[in-house]
Amino acid sequence: DIVMTQSPDSLDVSLGERATINCKSSQSVLHSSNSKNYLAWYQQKPGQPPKLLIYWASTRESGVPDRFSGSGSGTDFTLTISSLQAEDVAIYYCQQYYTNPPWTFGQGTKVEIK
């Protein structure tokens, strides 16, 4: 199975400041046939299910604010919140869907307000 490792485990950021979350996969999730990275990001607010934010490593899901952006390729990826809002307090997960299942998730990064 591909192991997904996120860093840091938690992050305290001031309102309006940038938050950066890293995700590393144990093997490349870049598919040579279409040059796409099979990597998604989710946001999970307290008491709610995960919400799909980004797929193909950098494509925002419809309705997701543009302060959320994804980048990276191969094995190293980043989710950036450009200007943290109070409603962004959540746990963020990366997930690979490169291989046949089992698709795997990172351990999560908790983002809180400083």
Partner 1 sequence: QVQLRESGPGLVKPSETLSLTCTVSGGSISGYYWSWIRQPPGKRLEYVGYISKTGTTNYNPSLTSRVAISVDTSKNQFSLNVNSVTAADTAVYYCARIGSGTSTPDRGFGNFDYWGRGSLVTVSS
Query: Residues interacting with partner 1, by CB under 8 A?
Result: 36, 38, 40, 42, 48-52, 55-56, 59, 61-62, 93, 95, 97-98, 100-108
CA distance 105 to 84: 23
Residue located via tokens 């797929």: 55
Cβ proximity to partner 1: between 32 and 114 the closer is 32
For the bound state, the minimum distance from the C-beta of residue 113 to partner 1, rounded and expressed in Å, comes to 23
For the bound state, the minimum distance from the C-beta of residue 18 to partner 1, rounded and expressed in Å, comes to 25
**Cα separations in angstroms, 66 against 33, 63, 80, 96:** 29, 9, 10, 22
